[in-house]
Amino acid sequence: MSEAAVDMPPRKSELADPVLIRARGITRRFGPGLPALDAVTLDIRQGEILGLVGESGSGKSTLGRILLGLIAASEGSVTFDDMPMPPLRPTEAQIVFQDALGALNPRRTIGQSIALPLVNAGWSRERRADRISELLQSVGLSPSDAARYPHQFSGGQCQRIVIARALALGPRFLFLDEPVSALDVSVQAQILNLLARVQAEAGLTFLFVSHDLEVVRHFCDRTAVLYRGQLMETGPADELYDAPRHPYTRALRASVLNGGGLPELVPETPGSDAAPGGCRFAARCPKVRPICLIERPPERPVGPDHTTACHALTD
């Protein structure tokens, strides 16, 4: 079950690379109150792994679902390959969730589960069988595993099966919504090695959600940081880890557990959440200014291919 591939050469995502998914001013409301996503503008470049981090409830899953066309945005537009986006076809984009066991039908063998997208796409029985064997092998399982049921596999193996199913129709884009969060470190390493290999082999594009900044730095080319529906910072993954600029990214970075006790955190500035027009992080921001409460900071470049939205970083 060893990952055959050796070290991947460091990839680089360039500003000039063609854009696969272009999201402009995406807002999503689920009712009264502040929107779950607030005018998010983001490019996902062909062949890159874009990391998406942010606290729980910040809108990561919602953004991914909108990019896949699974739910509609309240405002804004998404294009895929420069085409305005109807719901994406399964041959183009797939999703992998954190809860792998929950994503598999317990009454179907895993062969049947993997076959489903192929059946829907009109594949013949023989082609399906070949494809299933090939997929199982590519994720480090054996073709004979096709006859077994989900509960007979470990969490890490279930995640491999879900990845195999996601790859069945050869999609170009995968939305990986915390695919390794539920796995222990050793299995996490297996899955990340597997994903890195299939990504490199097929030149796939990933949007990868994780809470683990170290995993994101390791695995991703670029990182985007969401806070309560607003994009705070976007830039090269190692820069966001080694030299974060936005006060929120800095707070996240300072929270990474590093073998000591619990780190001290930035003090929570008392006061209400910002007014709808302002920066959502203002209420917790150590660098807050009066303007932050009333006017949302625009995104500005702070380095090559690195932007942040913060009034305090303008001078």
Ligand X SMILES: Nc1ncnc2c1ncn2[C@@H]1O[C@H](COP(=O)(O)OP(=O)(O)OP(=O)(O)O)[C@@H](O)[C@H]1O
Site map (CB under 8 A) of another protein, residues 38-77, x = contact: ---------------xxxxxx--x----------------
Minimal distance, residue 210 CB to another protein, in Å: 9
Is residue 238 within the footprint of another protein (CB under 8 A)? yes
Token code pair at residue 172: 């170009």
Chain residue at closest Cβ approach to ligand X? 56
Q: Which helix (H) or strand (E) holds 45?
A: strand 37-45
Burial of 81 (0-12, 13-18, 19+ CB in 10 A): middle
Is residue 62 within the footprint of ligand X (CB under 6 A)? yes
Is residue 243 within the footprint of another protein (CB under 8 A)? no
With contacts defined by CB under 8 A, name the span among 82-90, 163-171, 185-193, 302-310 that binds another protein.
185-193
Q: Which is nearer to Mg ion, 71 or 202 (CB)?
A: 71
Minimal distance, residue 311 CB to Mg ion, in Å: 28
Instruction: Return the bridge partners of 86, or none.
Output: none
Token code pair at residue 114: 């993997």
**Residue 108 in 3-state DSSP?**
coil
Contact 183, 155 (CB under 8 A): yes
Query: Comparing C-alpha atoms, which of 90, 58, 89, 59 is closest to residue 73?
Result: 59
Angle between helices 110-120 and 155-167 in degrees, nearest 10 = 20
Site map (CB under 6 A) of ligand X, residues 13-42, x = contact: -----------------x-----x------
Minimal distance, residue 97 CB to ligand X, in Å: 10
**Residue 27 in 3-state DSSP?**
strand
Q: Which is nearer to another protein, 81 or 273 (CB)?
A: 273
Q: Distance between terminal CA atoms of the chain?
A: 53
User: What's the rounded Cα separation, in Å, for the pair 1 and 180?
Assistant: 18
Instruction: Provide the binding-site residues for ligand X, judged by CB under 6 A.
Output: 30, 36, 54, 56-62, 155
Give residues in contact with another protein (CB under 8 A).
1-3, 5-8, 10-11, 30, 33-34, 53-58, 61, 98, 152, 154-157, 178, 181-190, 192-193, 196, 211-215, 217-219, 228, 238, 251-253, 255-268, 270, 273
